[in-house]
Structure 1
Amino acid sequence: MSTIQNVTVTKKSNVYFDGKCISHTLLLADGSQKTVGVIFPSSLTFNTGRPETMEIVSGLCRVRLANETEWKAYEDGQQFEVAANSSFEIETVDQVDYVCHFG
């Protein structure tokens, strides 16, 4: 699906890693939260508090989850799961658009 219906958008952006990742928080009617954002070409490490599903909307990236040795490639329409209180490394060569689903 290319749209998310019935949401409240937090107007102030979330800016991470000196502007290499920018997102906006979406609050859904059922109380769940998502972020919609972009990662510019970079190599970054994200730490998680809650479990996350990272949906790649467009672009190509390589991801290595905490405690894993192998990198895996993800592109348009694919997703990966990240455990709570964990981390993942992500490498992008071009811009990657994503939706992060929490919980």
Structure 2
Amino acid sequence: MISANAYFNDTVKSLGYTTASGKSTVGVMEEGNYEFGTSMHETMTVLEGELIVLLPNKTEWKSYKPSETFEIEANASFKVKSIGQTSYLCQYK
């Protein structure tokens, strides 16, 4: 089953699905600044666009472009700056 999610007044939207590999979402962010919290371990891959990310316990922002991946542990929060519309794949463990 596919689930639809919308956050931040519809500026972030994603579709959730489950495969043999586990739960995932694929989504799009409008340009802007966002803070997300996690309940599970997440691996995020930028598909198009650019995300500038401040990971938990880090002081330096880092840019992620298409095909680049970052990971966030469960029960953490992280900040992102979306440069233009940016699409992503998020896989959960």
Q: Same fold (TM over 0.5)?
A: yes
Aligned structure 1 segments of 4 or more residues deviating by more than 6 angstroms: none
What is residue 97 of structure 1 aligned with on the other side?
87
Q: How far does residue 93 in structure 1 lie from its aligned partner after superposition?
A: 2.2
Of all paired residues, the percent bearing the same amino acid is 33
Larger Rg: 1
State the distance in 1 between where 2:10 and 2:56 align. 23
1:51 aligns with 2:41: yes
What is residue 7 of structure 2 aligned with on the other side?
16
What CA RMSD, in Å, does the superposition of the two structures yield over aligned residues? 1.1
State the distance in 2 between where 1:31 and 1:55 align. 16
Give the TM-score, by structure 2 length. 0.94
Structure 2: unaligned runs, 5 residues or longer: none
Structure 1: unaligned runs, 5 residues or longer: 1-7
Structure with greater strand share of residues: 2
State the distance in 1 between where 2:36 and 2:56 align. 10
Q: Output one character per residue of 1:83-103: Cα deviation in whole Å (capped at 9) or x when no partner.
A: 110011000120110000001
Give the TM-score, by structure 1 length. 0.86
Point out which structure has higher relative CO (alpha carbons under 8 A, 6+ apart): 2
